[in-house]
Structure 1
Amino acid sequence: MILRYGPPLIGTLMLLFAVSHVVKRASSSQEGRTDPPGPLPERTITDLLAAIGAVEPATETIQMGTAVGGIVNEVAVRVGDSVKEGSVLARLKAGELEAEVKVNEAALESTQATLSRLRSLPRPEEIPALEARVAEARALALDQKEQFERNGLLASRGAIGNEELRRKELGFLAATSRQRAAEADLKLLQAGAWKSDIQLQDGTVFDVLEKSGAYIKTLVLITAYDHYAIRAIKYSAIDYLLKPVNAQELKLAMEKCVQQLDS
């Protein structure tokens, strides 16, 4: 009897146990679960752009600098500032350059004075003095000639010796040489300065002027504008002046700088 109904009964009990265990597991999982959230509210996004990265120029980086080396005295802009064409980005200490300009200006004044003196030759007030020297030299030469001739007659008669006659001859020759020198000096003064001397002095004045004007230098400035990146690089040039110039010189200098930058 037991052998006949025992195994089916044990199988039924095990099945009931398994079913009850599954039901308990399901009920416990249902208790820990929460209801799903409702739908997210709709939101309209306009003119919004999000991105991760770094803004870089679309062209190569432009290195700025000045034609005149020196120590930066002042920086007029900050990182991120918008600059316009012609804006001053930095200023240099110009003490040494200003001192050198003054030295060149003094040299220019000296060379110009020398050139003016050469061009003004002969000076009218110097001619009478040399003419008087020439007249004096001629008179002395004539006097020495007459003394030499008289002593020659005396020597021929035996009144004086040959030594005395020789001294008079040398005095006459010396007076004649002084006369010729005075006449040559007068001709040189009347001729004025040599053309080659004036041309040489002209070249010296030009060199000094060129040195003095060499300190009209250019600063390369940039202007950068674009919607999304610093891309539109534009060159401009202004003069870094250490001495005043007129408007025409400034305009010509700026045009020359722009041509050099565009070439």
Structure 2
Amino acid sequence: MITRIVLPLVAVLGVLLAVQSVLPYEMSLKSGKPVFKSKAPPASTPLQPPPEQPSRFRESIHGMGLVESQRENIPIGTSAPGLVTEVYVDGRPDYRPPHKRVGDRVKKGEPLFSIDDRELKAELQSRSAALLAAEAQLGRLERMPRAEDVPPAEAAVEEAQAKLLDAEAAFNRDSQLFQRKMLAASDYDRDRYTVQAAKAALARSEADLAKLKAGAWKEDIAVQRAAVVEARSQVESVKIMLDRLVVRAPVDGEVLQVNVRPGQLATLSWKEPMVVLGEVKRLHVRVDVDENDLFRFREGAPAVATLKGQVKPEFPLEFFRIEPYVIPKRSLTGDNSERVDTRVLQVLYILPDNPPARVYVGQQMDVFLDVGGS
């Protein structure tokens, strides 16, 4: 009974739902208005137009330029790994004198940061003590004999001489008795051997005195001098290693970047330069000339630069030099149409001393090289 009632109700509900879903569509066809609003597709990033060529050139080559210091940026690391104990260019004011900071100038040889040196200082003390011992031993050999050692040796010679005289006197007396048959042969032989022993003792004492007065053997002195040289070189080696733990500025320049802090573990495979130095009194622009444009490029071509993406102001450039080695392109602009699978020739130009706008090391510029005459 229930089935006979439920099934017709379900059928009626299905018909009503179908009519409800179709009715709006029919009405939209009559009115011409869409029923569902579709989302507009996301706008794609438009391609950037190529930089506008300066009016002073009839024909030019465009290249991306990277501002760098006059001597090129100097990335500084450490030649000895260890714990960084001090950074002298981190700008901390609680030192006297206060630490320098990024943007300050440093002189050649000025410390930038230092590595933990406690272990090497202990080794230096040990090496220095060994050097002092070697030098003292050499001095002892060179000043031989000691004045205090000579009198005992001379007294030993005199004692041996006295014993020899006593033995000879006794032997002479016994010789006369032996000739008169008044002394046994054994006693005579004992006195004769006593004289010979006294002579040998005297010779030994005289030889010891002569050796003492002659001083040290020259070969012994030479060996000890070599030991002193070796000990001194070991001390110098430790001092050099200690000096290497203080990283200093290789040239006069400006601190451009500091990427190290006290307490960090400095390694030889540091991912980025610990300190970057540069000479920013006069800046250069390193221009990448595409290999496809090299047939049009000529050395010493006039050039003009603008800030990236800008038309004005213009920076007149002075040709400096070419690096005659074509390399893979590394400086990318981020343009969607930029080719990255190409090679470039790098040309260096000099920015004017009084530029129309301030530029910074590492900044990108649009550079135009004249190839058709001004």
Q: TM-score, normalised by structure 1?
A: 0.56
Q: Would you say 1:223 and 2:277 are equivalent positions?
A: yes
1:88 partner letter: P
- CA–CA separation in structure 2 for the residues paired with 1:162 and 1:57: 111
Secondary structure of the corresponding residue to residue 111 of structure 2? coil
Higher RCO structure (Cα 8 Å, ≥6 apart):
2
Matched AA of 1:212: V
Q: Deviations over 1:32-70 (max 9, x none)?
A: xxxxxxxxxxxxxxxxxxxxxxx998979846223xx45
Letter in 1 for 2:199: T
- In 1, Cα distance between equivalents of 2:86 and 2:116: 12
Please state how far the C-alpha of 1:185 moved relative to its aligned partner: 1.2
> Is residue 167 from structure 1 mapped to residue 221 from structure 2 by the alignment?
no
Shift of 1:129: 2.1
CA displacement at 1:230 relative to structure 2: 5.1
Q: Look up the SS of the partner of 2:191 in the other structure.
A: helix
Q: Does 1:212 align with 2:235?
A: yes
Aligned to 1:97: 120
How many angstroms does 1:181 deviate by? 0.9
Distance change >3 Å, CA 89–CA 176, structure 1 → 2: same
Superposition RMSD in Å: 3.4
Superposition pairs of residues 51-200 of structure 1, within 5 angstroms: 62=75, 64-66=77-79, 69=80, 71-76=82-87, 81-82=102-103, 84-85=106-107, 86-200=109-223
Shift of 1:184: 0.7
Q: 1:150 to 1:56 in 2, by over 3 A?
A: farther
Letter in structure 2 aligned against 1:134: V
Paired-residue identity, % = 28
User: 1:195: how far off?
Assistant: 2.6
Tell me the TM-score normalised to structure 2 length.
0.41
- The structure that is helix-richer by fraction is 1
Decide whether the 8 Å contact of 1:127 with 1:189 is kept in 2.
yes
Shift in alpha-carbon separation, 1:177–1:223, aligned structure 2, 3 A: same
CA deviation profile, 1:84-107 (whole Å, cap 9, x unmatched): 344534322222211111112111
Verify the 8 A CA contact 1:65 1:220 in the aligned structure 2: no
Are 2:128 and 2:235, in contact at CA under 8 Å, matched by a contact in 1?
Answer: yes
Alpha-carbon distance, 1:178 to partner: 1.1
Q: Does structure 2 conserve the Cα–Cα contact (< 8 Å) formed by 1:73 and 1:92? A: yes
- Quote how far apart the aligned CAs of 1:137 are: 0.5
Unaligned segments of structure 1, at least 5 residues: 1-23, 26-54, 232-263
Q: What is the CA–CA distance in structure 2 between the aligned matches of 1:204 and 1:162, rounded to whole Å? A: 60
2:85 is matched by which residue type in structure 1?
Answer: E
- The count of residues paired between Structure 1 and Structure 2 equals 177
Residue identity matched to 1:71: G
